[in-house]
Each structure stands twice: as structure tokens, then as C-alpha cells.
Amino acid sequence: MTSTSGMVSASTPAIEVFDVAHRYEADAGPVDALERTSMAVADGEFVSLVGPSGCGKTTLLRAVAGLLEPSAGHIEVLGARPREAKAQRRTGLVTQDPGLLPWRSVEGNVRLALELTGRHIDIDALLARVGIERFAAYYPRELSGGMRQRVALARALAHGPRLLLMDEPFGALDELSREQLRLELLRLWERERISVLFVTHSIREAVLLSDRVLVMSRAPGRIVADVAIDLPRPRAASMERLPAFLEHVDVIRSALGAPLAIGTAS
Amino acid sequence: MTTLTGGATEATLEVDDLLEATEWVALPAPHSSARHRLDWRELASTVAPPLIAVALALVAWEAWVQLRDVKEYLVPAPSAVARALGDDPSRFVRAGRVTFGHALGGLALGSGAAFILAVAMAHSRLLERAIYPLAILVKVTPVVAVAPLLIIWFGFGTAPKVLVAALITFFPMLVNAVTGLRSVDPAAHDFLRALDASRLQVLWKLRLPASLPYVLAALRISVPLSLIGAVVAEWMSGDDGVGQVILIAHGEFDTPVLFGSIVVLAVLGVTMTAVLAYIEGRVLHWHESSIGA
């Protein structure tokens, strides 16, 4: 693997995780967050990671983002080590807390990504892509949670990443905003087909958005099911009532060890 | 270790109050519109009440002194204080200017040095552990005890006064700035790290702006302290400034001049605080503390 070449062919997987495990050193003693896990995300694929709270989903995502060094195993991001991929600015990160800078306007927050990566793009066009062009001059505190999350998405896309890492991006939103942003992300992704690793608590959200859903067990986490979602694209919210959709939801729920409850799953 | 953090908490108390989570509110318009428009009626309603209160207090004071025939060396009437100020205004202006220079110089030196040290300490726990005990020692030692030493070392003139003022303003800035530089939003920090931002970029784009509310809160504590430091040093050396005017007036039982000096110092303190508040309003428009202000 010529990981330093920087050349990425279209068939290079976006993410490859080989036998990665991680143990945190806490005050009360070591905590196993992740148990020997392997997975992959193909180029242009939308993959969700679902699992109970504290199962190591975020740990795995942070390892892929190059924000933490796993205790064991090997990760390739776009054919390079996570730290190299990070240094080459090939990934974008969106977290549950949008982490916007309160002293910068929407436009200024998006510009931050360009300042750090030294790129130049039409910020107005980018804001229009996520539907916030009218709010360029607003400050984060003047925006709703949903709007702030759109800003975070625009900021993560600003430098043109090949891979988007999303850690429960809609987790703190109210149900209505959440549904709306889910559909907007769906439309954005179906237009642009950028590779996505999407961590979520919501099974329906995972099924609606993803090509594949990886199910993780309770801590220490490992992947217990890999469910291909064969629903046609473009997808729509109305698909949530299709028997095929509900079947996927049930498969994932049972993999999680949760009781079956058709129709009420979320 | 507990004693060290105890000192730190005291100085940051005001900041914590200020940072207490207020609801993020959705405003109808972006901040730029209508923010800096001057509202005369609002201005009058904020300025008039204290002015009237002060005027009434002065009238009552004057009446009390006149009617009860209070001795001037005990409590001079406001009119006597005004006369003392009016007799030789240049003396007070000169002394006030000198003291202002000492205080401002000390504030700049003390806060500046403390801030630079805070940047280093915010990046190194080792440095923090090494320097904090020394900083606490400086803090708990009464500055009045150190001032004569500084005068022996540096003689008369500007240096010892600026140094005493610097010494007294050093600690609040150090503690607040370290806290502020460390109080970065972890999600924002993650975003910068995910884009491989250097430590310098994190400092410049995240830590410094995030520390501004703390830095300005430290300055609010330090402005009156810097005046104290300057006046104490002027007392000790007795060669210039408002401290010297006080020293001489005290020796002569010239109470109206003493009161005049107090007025000069009050005007300096109020002016410096007002300038700081103005800067704060301009710089911290994004901060919770300025919502609804």
C-alpha cells in the first residue's frame, strides 16, 4: 500500500478497519471501549453505525478521524493512515455538539475550514447547498439547533472532503428538525455521493439514509451485524411505511438484542 | 494542591457567574442591525437616576456641614472640597495624570506579563505546577510590604510605582487567562484537530478568542487594583502623583485637599472602568454576558 502517495483511485475504500481495539485509561482503572473490530466503507458508500450508548461507536469514529490512536489494530482512511488522511484534509467532521465559534458569524465559521486548509471556494454557494445562504451574517447564538447543525455541515464540507464522519449529528435536535435535516442530508448525499460514516442511535434514521447499517454490541463494543439496505434510491420519508423498511428495522433491532416492535421502532 | 486551586477559584468567581449558562435566544435579526444606534431616552433613564442621587447626597452633605457647623479638618463641605480643587487645579491634574500613568503602565505590564505566562502555562501542566505556587506567593503577600523594597531597589521615579501596580494586577490576569485559554469548546477543538490545525492555529483561532471574556473580567478586577498599587507606591516614595498630594495634605491636616485627591482617584477609576466596559461591549458582542445588554 503506497499510503504516502496521496493518489486515491476511485476503488480505494473510504475506510478500512482491521482488528481495532481500544482501552481507555480511566482513574477507576482501564475501560475497554472497543473489542477487536473490523469493518469497511466503500468509496461513495453511506454506512451507519448503530448501537447502545457507550458501545464505542464514537471511539471508532474518532479513531478513523485520527483524533485518537487505538490501542490495537490498523486503520486505513482513503488508502492512508488516519493521521495522514487528516494531514491531507481529506475528511470532514460533524459532531452532535456543532462546536461553532460563537464569535464568528455563520460565514466566518465556514471560512474557518478554508483558513485552516488554505483553500478558496465560493462560500455563498456552499451555504446555498445546505440551505442557509440567508443566514451568512448571523451569529451562532441567533440560530436554532437545526440551523447550527446545518452550519456545522457546511463547515465540514467546505474544504471538499472525500469522506464525511458524522457523530450523532442530529442527536440533540427536536424530532421535527431532526426529520427535516435527515431528509436534507439524504438529498445532499444522493446528489454528491461522498463517502459517509454516520453514527446514530436511531435505527429508522440509519435505515432511511444508509447503504449499509453496522450494528454494535454493548460495551466493549464489537460489530455484531452488517445489514445491507436494499431500498431503492432516491429515498423518501414515505418509505418508512414500506414492509421492506420495517423488516430492516426489525433485523437491526433483533441484532441489538431489543424486543421486536413493528412500527414503533425508532 | 487544594490551597492553590482555592486561590484560583476566588479570582475566577466573577467569570463563573458571568458564564452561567443562559438560554441561547433566537433573535429576529442578525446582530449588526440596530445594535450601535444610540437611544437617547434609554441613555437618560440610565444616567439620570445616579446623577440625581449624587446631587441629592451632595446637597444633604453640604447642608449637614453648614447647619451643624462641622469642623473643616474633620469633614469639609462639598463646597470646601470644590474650592480646594479650584484653588490649584493644575496640581490635581498633574498628580492625577502621573498616577494614571503609573496605574496604566502597571496594568499593562502586570496583565501583559501575566497573559504571556498564562499562554505558556495553558500549554504545559508542568510549567503550571512550577509557576502557580510562586504566583500564589506573590498574591498572598501584601503589596504594601513589598513596596518599600521596590523603592530601595529602583529608587524614586516611575519604575517602583509601575512595578507595584504591575505586581498587584498580575495574579487576577494570570488565573483568569489560564482558565480562559483552557476553556475551549471540546467540539470546536475536535473540529480544528480533525483538520490538522497546528497548536499555533488552535491558540490563535480558538484559545485566544475563547479567553477574551475571562481576560476582560480580569481587567475589570485589575483596574481598581492598579490605582491602589500606584497610590501605595506614591505614598511610600512621596515624590509625585496623587499619593504624594495625599501624604502632604495628611501631614498638614488639609482635609479638603484629601477629599480633592479622593475625587481625582474616583474620576480616574470611573473613567478607566467605563473605557473598559465600552471595549467589552464592542469585543464581546457574541458572548452570553452581552445578551440583552
In chain A, residues with a C-beta closer than 8 Å to the C-beta of B216 are none
Which grid cell sits at A259? 424486543
What pLDDT, in 10s, does the model give residues A10-40?
A: 578 999 999 999 999 888 888 888 999 999 9
Q: How many C-beta atoms lie closer than 10 Å to residue B175's C-beta?
A: 28
Label residue A8 by pLDDT band (50, 70, 90): low
Residue B39 has pLDDT above 80, yes or no: no
Q: Give chain B's domains with CATH numbers.
A: 76-290 (1.10.3720.10)
* Within a domain: A186: no
Average pLDDT, chain B: 86
Of B27, B190, B205, the CB nearest to A93: B190
Percent of chain B at pLDDT above 70?
86
Q: How many C-beta atoms lie closer than 10 Å to residue A236's C-beta?
A: 13
Gap between the Cα atoms of A109 and A102, Å rounded:
9
* Within a domain: A148: no
Which grid cell sits at A4? 504516502
Average pLDDT over residues A43-63: 93
Gap between the Cα atoms of A121 and B242, Å rounded:
59
What pLDDT, in 10s, does the model give residues B236-279?
A: 988 999 999 999 999 999 999 999 999 999 999 999 999 999 99
Residue B35 has pLDDT above 70, yes or no: no
* Within a domain: A43: yes
Label residue A221 by pLDDT band (50, 70, 90): confident
Gap between the Cα atoms of A189 and B141, Å rounded:
63
Q: Do the chains contact at A117 and B195, CB–CB below 8 Å? A: yes
Which grid cell sits at B31? 446582530
Task: Report the CATH number that the domain containing residue A237 is assigned in CATH.
Answer: 3.40.50.300
Q: Note the pLDDT of residue A3.
A: 42
Average pLDDT over residues A119-134: 93
User: Which of B195, B211, B284 to probe by mutation at the A interface, max A CB count within 10 Å?
Assistant: B195
Whether chain A has a CB inside 8 Å of the CB on B30: the answer is yes
Q: How many CA atoms lie within 13 A of B251 on its CB side?
A: 7
* Cα of B258 to nearest chain A Cα, Å: 46
Of B26, B229, B190, nearest in space to A100 by CA: B190
Q: Do the chains contact at B206 and A103, CB–CB below 8 Å? A: no
Q: Note the pLDDT of residue B19.
A: 35
* Within a domain: A108: no
Residue B4 has pLDDT above 50, yes or no: no
Average pLDDT over residues B12-22: 36
Domain that holds residue A66: 11-90+163-173+194-257
Which grid cell sits at B48? 439620570
Gap between the Cα atoms of B172 and B225, Å rounded:
10
Whether the Cβ atoms of residue B289 and residue B213 lie closer than 8 Å to each other: yes
- How many CB contacts within 8 angstroms connect chain A with chain B? 86
Backbone angles phi, psi at A12, to 5 degrees: -60, 125
Q: Note the pLDDT of residue A157.
A: 95
* Within a domain: A30: yes
Whether chain B has a CB inside 8 Å of the CB on A99: the answer is yes
Sign of CA dihedral A64, A66, A70, A73: positive
DSSP state letters, B17-37: HHHS-PPP---SS-TTTTSS-
ipTM: 0.89
Q: Note the pLDDT of residue B260.
A: 96
* Cα of B286 to nearest chain A Cα, Å: 5
- What's the whole-model pTM score? 0.81
Gap between the Cα atoms of A124 and A44, Å rounded:
25
Interface of B with A in 62-81 (CB under 8 A): none
Gap between the Cα atoms of B215 and B179, Å rounded:
9
Residue B286 is classified by DSSP as T
Interface of B with A in 204-243 (CB under 8 A): 205-206, 209, 212
Residue carrying the nine cell digits 486551586: B5
Greater pLDDT, B288 or A202 = A202
Q: Do the chains contact at B30 and A138, CB–CB below 8 Å? A: yes
Average pLDDT over residues A129-141: 93
Gap between the Cα atoms of A181 and A205, Å rounded:
11
DSSP state letters, chain A: --TTS----TTS-SEEEEEEEEEEEETTEEEEEEEEEEEEE-TT-EEEEE-STTSSHHHHHHHHHTSS--SEEEEEETTB-HHHHHHTT-EEEEESS----TTS-HHHHHHHHHHHHT----HHHHHHHTT-GGGTT--GGGS-HHHHHHHHHHHHHTT--SEEEEESTTTTS-HHHHHHHHHHHHHHHHHH--EEEEEES-HHHHHHH-SEEEEEPSSSB-EEEEEE----SS--GGGGGSHHHHHHHHHHHHHTTPPP-TTT--
Non-local (6+) Cβ contacts of B165 within 8 A are B102, B103, B105, B106, B107, B109, B110, B225, B226, B227, B229, B230, B233
Gap between the Cα atoms of A130 and A149, Å rounded:
10
Of B25, B124, B205, nearest in space to A115 by CA: B205
Whether chain B has a CB inside 8 Å of the CB on A155: the answer is yes
Residue A266 has pLDDT above 80, yes or no: no
| Cα→Cα distances B85→A255, B72, B81, B201, B250, Å | 86, 15, 6, 53, 16
Whether the Cβ atoms of residue B103 and residue B246 lie closer than 8 Å to each other: no
Gap between the Cα atoms of B242 and B165, Å rounded:
14
* Within a domain: A167: yes
Q: Do the chains contact at B30 and A105, CB–CB below 8 Å? A: yes
Residue B33 has pLDDT above 80, yes or no: no
Of B26, B188, B194, the CB nearest to A67: B194
Which grid cell sits at B234? 506614591
* Cα of B96 to nearest chain A Cα, Å: 37
Which grid cell sits at B215? 481576560
Whether the Cβ atoms of residue A250 and residue A260 lie closer than 8 Å to each other: yes
Percent of chain B at pLDDT above 90?
67
* Cα of A27 to nearest chain B Cα, Å: 18
Characterize the bridge pairing of strands A212-216 and A91-95.
unpaired
What pLDDT, in 10s, does the model give residues B144-201?
A: 898 899 989 998 889 999 999 999 999 999 999 999 999 999 999 999 999 999 999 9
Q: How many CA atoms lie within 13 A of B274 on its CB side?
A: 7
Gap between the Cα atoms of B195 and A87, Å rounded:
7
* Cα of A65 to nearest chain B Cα, Å: 6
Residue carrying the nine cell digits 499510503: A3
Percent of chain A at pLDDT above 70?
93
Whether chain B has a CB inside 8 Å of the CB on A119: the answer is no
* Within a domain: A253: yes
Label residue A9 by pLDDT band (50, 70, 90): low
Q: How many domains does chain A have?
A: 1
Of A98, A112, A144, the CB nearest to B26: A144
* Cα of B209 to nearest chain A Cα, Å: 7
CA-derived radius of gyration, chain A: 18
What pLDDT, in 10s, does the model give residues B59-75?
A: 999 999 999 999 999 99
Could you tell me which chain A residue has the CA closest to the CA of B288? Answer: A141
In chain B, residues with a C-beta closer than 8 Å to the C-beta of A165 are 194
The C-alpha angle with vertex B229 and arms to B227 and B234, in degrees rounded to 5, equals 95
In chain A, residues with a C-beta closer than 8 Å to the C-beta of B191 are 93, 95, 99, 152, 155-156
